[in-house]
Amino acid sequence: MNKKKILTADLEIGMVTAEAVYNFSNHLIISSNTTLTPDIIDKLKYYSIKSVKILLPDDNMETSQNGGNLTYFQKIQLSQEFKIFETEFNSCVNDFKGELNDLVVKNGEGIINNMLEHVDSIFNLL
């Protein structure tokens, strides 16, 4: 597994430490291969630990899928339904941005109705 140094402020619950963490007095704070919890992250902040080396998951998603190590969010992202939603959402957002730009630049009256149509289409996806 690869390692990466992460700032304590950017740590997330569920990350796993690659190395033991010591404070400035060389006292052990947490050991290596520790799964981070909210309490452990708070402990690191309390001891003013600036960064921690974290184990990175393998880049091979097929291995993760077969091993069942995917988070719920990752499973959702891989679903066909989410991919359809994401494509439609991004399209609607880009169209909406264009309508906002037209509203500012052209000061058009019919543009507001077009904008509301884009918002409606996003809500219809849900």
pLDDT in tens, 59-99: 554 444 444 677 888 888 888 888 888 888 888 888 877 77
Burial of 17 (0-12, 13-18, 19+ CB in 10 A): buried
| Closest C-alpha to 73, from 9, 23, 14 | 14
Backbone phi and psi for residue 11, each to the nearest 5 degrees, phi listed first: -65, 150
Distances in whole angstroms, Cα of residue 9 to Cα of each of 3, 41, 52, 55 = 17, 9, 10, 17
Q: How far apart are alpha carbons 88 and 94 in whole angstroms?
A: 10
The confidence score (pLDDT) of residue 2 equals 85
For residue 36, the tally of other CB atoms under 10 A from its CB is 20
The confidence score (pLDDT) of residue 109 equals 62
Backbone phi and psi for residue 97, each to the nearest 5 degrees, phi listed first: -60, -45
Q: Enter the pTM of the model.
A: 0.46
pLDDT digits (tens, 9 = 90+) for 12-66: 988 999 999 999 888 999 998 999 999 999 999 999 999 999 998 765 544 444 4
- Does residue 101 register a pLDDT over 90? no
Confidence of residue 113 (pLDDT cuts 50, 70, 90): confident
The confidence score (pLDDT) of residue 59 equals 56
The confidence score (pLDDT) of residue 110 equals 67
